[in-house]
Structure 1
């Protein structure tokens, strides 16, 4: 048998170790030790196991064992500090953790030095972000933590599966790698995924520390890593808390990476999904030009794939934003297009949470059937309670329906789901408007300033800030904010705001705009 790891070849038949084309000098006893560790790499090998296998049970000092282990590490370019290949688990034993490929030699045949095992063909990557969540390593040695770690990974897999925009490997396939040292690139090839999540769990002194990382399985690049430390009290609540934190970090990070890759591809080779990805950053700008380009790209995606419901919903969202923000040259056209595209998206897939939530907002502003819109928004959240978008859009539906307290609860949940989302300024705006309607003007000012720090040119936040300042009698600040709003949109009038639907159930907001001196 020949074992291949990194650029090493460990040949048990010839009892040779090579690094590339160069032979590595190794004593027989160290070779036996290394072979035993490699053959038993799926488990932790105790000191007694090694003594029995290598020294036939004879009495061996700890110093002698340490010397042989260090020699084995040196032979394969490892060290006691790095422990890339041979890992010491205090009071437990040792384990070979390097990623291994086995090359079986044909019986009775000469084998070339560069022969490798025939591998299964690589699976093609899906046409949307694909991810596998590997079992987290239990670093504590406590079997109870094994169950906790496995349960948390299952929760993460389930949570990610709710995003219909993702291709998520099922639990049974991911768990075939449990207890094995893996090469992330090999995992990606075997499972046909672009991204892999791995992590570890360690319990100590009544606390549990969880680390997680998101890796690009094609390049090997680490895209995200974080550590969570919590009191080990209610295990199920802890699983939920960590799952939310991990998923809320992973999903937007993957999307950002996918967008960046799409922007680097040559335009003549783009797919429908590439056009959709290119539309998203234009939508994020929340400008007249950005919405126009996003609509163009979304329609290009629909031309290539007429059943691309997410592209239709995105285009509808852009049209309703044109109306509400006053960008529309022909408001009636944008109104009709927004409703048409929302209905098209729902006809394609009314079970997609993102599509449902976008359609609910479009209907809230353009139709005004609160009962139906609330039902859609609630169903979107039920389908994916881990999505910033479903909670953010539910907040807007409830805000437009005149239910600011429930709107704030939804917006706060959205912030919790994606604390670094590039569209968080829209969430802050929603909270600010709801707070104004509840008469909580000081709180509204704080959150609206957050919106403007993220997007200084976001005119709705400027005018809402002017309203909140005016209600508190802070006239100079109100006039400054009003002037900034008019600088961004010189044609703004209060009557136009009301006419285009953005003035629904915002009596105190409108009063504040008048007090701030914005034109009627």
Structure 2
């Protein structure tokens, strides 16, 4: 009889185990086993199914998973770490279930339902190397997911693994877990004097992934419209979207964000119609203040938004202060495309390719509807990013950005974001009075606009007022307690300008902003502290990602009313080895 051929296949293997399992079992065996069983049933298994994987086997404190796709494997692992961290927030630190995870892409040997071979062994060795709460991946995984997932990676270099002949190049994907963000925030934020509200991401009930952008866009637009009311304290989009897909009690969310009221809802869009369910909850006093369902034609989306805003303001403030209405797009297709484009812009610092995709989408939205103000101002911001961050530092991008920003304000002078974008670009043209006028208009139209606050802080830095800038960013962080990474970039900039280099280093080394172009400010801060080797290393890493950068271009481009501030940065850049 011929020898039976060994069955093999290529697979993405995930190995996870529990940190400190023996200690947990020794302290409380029954509770530990019950908690692990519950986590497997409610977190692990649903995540694996959702990402097209399978649980190969459970091994006491560990688990072996198989996926056909490297992207699915890493996406599932990140979701697993995040949801495990979510579940831990209600537990004392000593009882938290924390995972280490290793992932490898390789050949595996099939034995019934089990898997063996180096493909599995390498994943297990990576898991044993990983820090608590972290994921370590082999280079093959990183190569497969590069540009497919909006992630940066720590390059940990080649590692010698037990019983593996050749060193394996290891990377650590950088992602935020709930626990990380949670631990950086105070336990309780005081409630503001005015009615305070957070709008949670609406649930997409259509069952179609492509409708996710519609539900997200609806949420974002409601936040924008609520933010226009000076009588309300409105939490910014980025902070509320941190809860997307998480099953967390609204009372916990309200406490963490420091608000009293929560708006949540769902949206279903099919065959030209939509069904939107909305409820306003008093998370402190308890009870539902208002709930309603809207079954309408899709063309009524903006009138429904207006109705929802009116109901909320009436319930919380008692009287709607009339503001100039924002100009809505006429084309739903243009709206859909713009929503997809704007969602990519905030990911630029961690995923540079996203800005190119955003540019294509926004240009398409304007092609569909040439008088679409929001699409024009977002496209203006894209061209400014290309110019200011030395991606394509051409005069054409600079002039195109200003042209589009002016066009956006011309089309809709009641759009606060269009006003601050134009104000910001005018500062780079050294048109200070016009810039100040636009920012004042933005804050008059939308007092809760945190992006405008942070952008104005940058202008304060270059006007020689770094302490005022730090105070402004602090106000923005109260409205946006879980901000995008570039808020910390601007805070690091202000700390550097104020000569507070230790605080600048601490801020700019935060995971949220570390691998963005803010690295040049980190390098300068390290140089000012006399940490020359670290400064030169960070400067080299910055140049590897932004090869077109020159100090001369940067210095000439800054919106500086105070040249001494610019020279302080130039000095730091040169000390760090930038040219």
Q: Which has the higher contact order (CA 8 A, sep 6+)?
A: 2
Higher strand proportion (structure 1 or 2): 2
Which structure would you say has the larger Rg? 1
TM-score (ref. length: structure 1): 0.49
* TM-score relative to the length of structure 2: 0.45
